[in-house]
Structure formats: C-alpha cells, structure tokens
Amino acid sequence: MKQRVVITGMGVAAPNGVGLEAFGAAIRAGRSGIRYYERLAEMKFSCCIAGEPEVTEEMKLRYLTPLQLRNFRSSGILYGCMAGVDAWEDAGLERRPKDAEPDWDTGIVFGMGNSGVDQMREAAYKLDGGKVKRLGSTTVPQIMASGVSAYLGGILGTGNQVTTNSSACTTGTEAIILGYERIVLGHAKRMLVGSASDSGPYIWGGFDAMKVMNFKMNDQPEAASRPLSTTAMGFVPGSGAGALMLERLDSALERGATIYAEVLGGAVNSGGQRLGGTMTAPNATAVQRCITAALHNAQIKPEEVDLINGHLTATMKDPDEIQNWTIALGRKGADFPMIHSLKAMVGHCISAAGSIETVAAVLGLHDNFVFPSINCEDVHPAVSELVDTNQIVRELREDSSVNVIAKAGFGFGDVNACLLLKRWDASH
Amino acid sequence: MQEERIATLKRIITPYVQNKEALEQLTAETDFIKDLEINSAHLVDIILDVEDEFDIEIEDEAMEEMLTVKAALDVISAKVDA
C-alpha cells in the first residue's frame, strides 16, 4: 500500500495577496494583482504592467533578521522565506532552536528559476570595476540556485534533504511532485515544497524582448491577463512564492494537524523538443502523456476529475492546452471538467506559478469554492469549439461538489508536470 | 582617541554579534569569533564596513589578522595614523 500524503500547512506571497487570508479573500473576489510600473516604462519595456507581492519592511523582519537583510536584494528568496515559514507555522511546527538537533524527518524542495538577479547585477558592476572584495559574504547565498532552500533550511532547522529544483514554468508543480515522491519512497515524513520567483525588470526583461508578454494593455493592467480569451495577447509577468507542507498521513493524524487536502500523485515528463516541441513550445503528445501518467499514478479515472487548474498563460497557446486536456481525458463539450486559470489575477509568476496556483487550488478544495477566471468574457472560439463555455469558471462558485483537481504546469525546455489533488475526507 | 575608535568599531560590529553580553564587556582582547560569536563568513563584511568608516583600504594579509579588537585597532591605526 502506497504511503498517503496530505497537505498540512500553506503559505503564499502573491501579487494580489500576501499571506493565506489576504490571498484567499483576493481570489474569491476575483481581485487582480496586476499594476502599472513607471520604472518599466522608463526602461523602455513594451509591457509595463506586472504582478509583484506588496511587502513592507516590517513584514520582512518577521522572516529575516536585520543582519540577513543587510545588502539583501534577492526578492525571490524573500518571498520564498515568507511563504515557507508561513507554511511551516500553519502546519503547527516549531522552528528548531540553534542548539537543538535538526528535524531529521523533514526536508525541503523549493524551486527557483534563477536566484537574486538584482544581487547578480550589483555584483557584476563591482566585478567590472575591479572591486571583487566588495561583493561581501552574502553574494553567494543570494545568487546560488539553491539560495531559497538554504535560507529556509537555516531558519527552520530541517535535517532531511534540502534542495532546489528548476524547470522553468513547471518548477512549482514539479517541486510538489518531488516532495510527494520522497515521502512515498519512505525517505521523509514531511517535505516543505514550493517555489519562488524574483520581481523586477532584470528577470522580466528577457521575456519582454521575446514579445511574449501583453504589451497592448498598459493602460488597463487589471484586464490585461486574459487566459482563454479571444483577446488574449500574451502573458503578464508576475512574481512571488507559494509553499505547502506535505506530510505522511500517519504523521499528520498523530500530530492532530489540520489537513487541507490529499496529494494523490502526479507525473513529470518532457517532449524532448521533438514532434512540434521546441525550447518554447510543447510537444502535444508529451503533454497528453503527462496528464495520463499523472492520472495513472494517482489511480484516478478521467471522469473523476472535477476541475482543472490550468497552466493557461493567456497566449495563443491556451486553445492548444485545452485540446490536450480533451484528448488526454477523453472528455469535451459539456462533459469537460470545470476549468480556470489563476494567471488571470496574478499574471504568470514564472517559476513561482505552479506553487502559488496549487495553494489557490487547495484553498478552494478546503474552503468549498472555485475561484473565478477573470477577463474571459470573450472565450476564444477555438476553446468554445472544444468545451462548453459553462465549464469555464468565470464567476465565483461556492461549490462543494469539487472532489478532485488536476493541476498542470508546462515550461520552456518542453517540460511538463501534472498533479492530482483530492478533497480531504476523514472517513476514508 | 583609542576609546573613540573602540566605540566606532563597536558600532560597526554590533549587527554581526550573536553574543550581546560579550559585546557589553568589550575590551581590546575581545575575539570576534570566540567571544562575540560572529559568524566567520561575516568578517569580510566587517572589514568592508571598517574601510568605509575610516576611508582606508585593507589588504588581504591584514584582513587575515583582524580577529580581535586589538588587531583591528592596530590595522586601522597603521593606515589612518601613517
């Protein structure tokens, strides 16, 4: 019998809400976290709108010491520490004192696309000026890929595997699957999983150059991220972090922890950049196989999926994703599951997307609601051809019938991840 | 002069000090790592702060010696009073 894994804590720093309570209220209300940034306009960005968590100096000090915050420029690490510590405390766990044994049974998989781009920029200027010594002692932890898991491990005192995964926009969903698998394999009792992404021009610039972002709606930031819409014109960049405490069921029950939902299983794969797959576009066969493999791993039949929390970035690829779901599930029209995209509210949070979106999915399961996919008044005809538009959740549904959610993430490099979540039912 | 410099040094190292009691009893003999429990990785940051404060540049060899209050004062005075 496979180990059962449940979610016992969560934390989030998202553009439309920092902390579970604020985020939960925002996604119920369909509130956008996308704003216009004059700085991006000054730097000649085409897309001058973005999503960034609003964090005060006072909030930072709840997570990092004044010493850690000296010369600290890694926004992604900050968001990751906020979400990670919140998830840990939400799960009812204590930070280990400095002179105590670490928690050998708990590990961390916390993903990042890249780490501390602002710190890297600062360092590069000093290096080019012949001032290598001026980099000080914190440049390395702020720019190393595993910076976020290293900071979190030190704050919490985790003694199991502490690592970082990186797979572009799949990162967050993949981190959850990696932590889940480690528990199922019997190597850990608890895994703090999640992902983070930096804010700002130095992380978003490359996407602006690719012209994959919506640069036509700078004057309407809240309406600009339009998944599944006819007028979807590219994604809007976001940032932040999401974190979940995964725990072996027996450990959670023993501790009397709050159980938000069960992780049934998942799968990751790659399209090999073959059969239509490229660095930036997915191989459709691989996406379908990933969904099928995730269902198999979770022992869930396609007809049991009630709701899809899509990758759906608001580019012209959205209809392709819908087509892949219809083929993989063998369901279309009115028989298609409900579907929505959090990116309509927070933008595409890049490496943080999968974890923030999974926190949203789990909140819905636990609190009996389905958040609205805003900015989709005009469903794309290629989507409505495949799926009954009533299945696109465009207004808040207080709907307790959702039992199983499929969450997917796809990323550059032609990589895919799919995760199955189930409402927690204490009687099973 | 020396007291003034000790006071300045104390202000610089304060953010890095983990043993605040030892900081209260700071003397010339106080060891940054053993007594004040400063993380050794932060010694390079202290040296950068000292350089900024006194407008001096400290070479790698001198950096290696700056492990106590006295050693730090000697390096500073060799530069500033030269």
Query: ∠ CA A69-A73-A76 to the nearest 5 degrees?
Result: 100
Distance of CA A168 to the CA centre of its chain: 11
CB contact under 8 A, B45 and A134: no
A274 CB within 8 Å of a chain B CB: no
Interface test with A, best of B23, B37, B48 (most A CBs within 10 A): B48
- Phi, psi (rounded to 5 degrees) for A274: -125, 170
A133 CB within 8 Å of a chain B CB: yes
Give the CA distances from residue A353 to residues A172, A270, A346, B69, in Å, rounded to whole numbers and listed in that order: 6, 18, 9, 49
Of B15, B41, B48, the CB nearest to A66: B15
B37 CB within 8 Å of a chain A CB: no
Contact A229, A379 (CB under 8 A): yes
CB contact under 8 A, A67 and B44: no
**Could you give the CA distance from residue A82 to residue A148 in angstroms, rounded to a whole number?**
10
Contact A268, A25 (CB under 8 A): no
CB contact under 8 A, A133 and B16: no
**Could you give the CA distance from residue A412 to residue A202 in angstroms, rounded to a whole number?**
18
Contact A10, A24 (CB under 8 A): no
* R_g (Cα) of chain A, nearest Å: 20
H or E stretch covering B43: helix B43-54
CA distance A3 to chain B (A): 41
Chain A positions in Cβ-Cβ contact with residue B16 (cut-off 8 Å): 67
Give the residue on A whose Cα is nearest the Cα of B42.
A137
pLDDT tens-digit series, residues B10-60: 999 999 999 999 999 999 999 999 999 999 999 999 999 999 999 999 998
Chain B positions in Cβ-Cβ contact with residue A140 (cut-off 8 Å): none
pLDDT value at residue A428: 64
User: Which stretches of A167-230 are DSSP H helices?
Assistant: 171-184, 201-210
3-state secondary structure at position A248: strand
CA distance B29 to chain A (A): 24
Contact A416, A410 (CB under 8 A): yes
- Phi, psi (rounded to 5 degrees) for A409: -145, 140
- Smallest CA-to-CA distance from A370 within A342, A398, A401 is with A398
- Phi, psi (rounded to 5 degrees) for A145: -55, -40
Chain A positions in Cβ-Cβ contact with residue B48 (cut-off 8 Å): 133-134, 136
Contact A226, A211 (CB under 8 A): no
Chain B positions in Cβ-Cβ contact with residue A138 (cut-off 8 Å): 45
**Could you give the CA distance from residue B50 to residue B9 in angstroms, rounded to a whole number?**
8
Give me the half-sphere count of Cα atoms (radius 13 Å) on the Cβ side of residue A171: 30
Task: Output the CA torsion sign for A330, A333, A339, A341.
Answer: positive
Report B:13-32 residues touching A (Cβ under 8 A): 15-16
Tokens at residue A101, please? 């044994």
In whole numbers, what is the pLDDT of chain B averaged over residues? 93
Interface test with A, best of B33, B42, B56, B61 (most A CBs within 10 A): B42
- What are the residue ranges in chain A where pLDDT is below 50? none
**Could you give the CA distance from residue A139 to residue B44 in angstroms, rounded to a whole number?**
12
pLDDT value at residue B82: 74
B33 CB within 8 Å of a chain A CB: no
Residue A348 pairs in a beta bridge with A237
- Phi, psi (rounded to 5 degrees) for A367: -105, 10
**Could you give the CA distance from residue B70 to residue B72 in angstroms, rounded to a whole number?**
5
B7 CB within 8 Å of a chain A CB: no
CB contact under 8 A, B44 and A137: yes
Cβ neighbours for A184, distance < 8 A, ≥ 6 positions apart:
A2, A3, A5
Cβ neighbours for A78, distance < 8 A, ≥ 6 positions apart:
A55, A60, A63, A64, A72
How far separated are the first and last CA of chain B, in Å rounded? 15
Chain B positions in Cβ-Cβ contact with residue A70 (cut-off 8 Å): 15, 45
Contact A52, A59 (CB under 8 A): no
Tokens at residue A113, please? 């696309």
A70 CB within 8 Å of a chain B CB: yes
Rounded to an integer, the average pLDDT of B53-77 is: 93
CB contact under 8 A, A133 and B45: no
3-state secondary structure at position A167: strand
CB contact under 8 A, A133 and B15: no
A66 CB within 8 Å of a chain B CB: yes
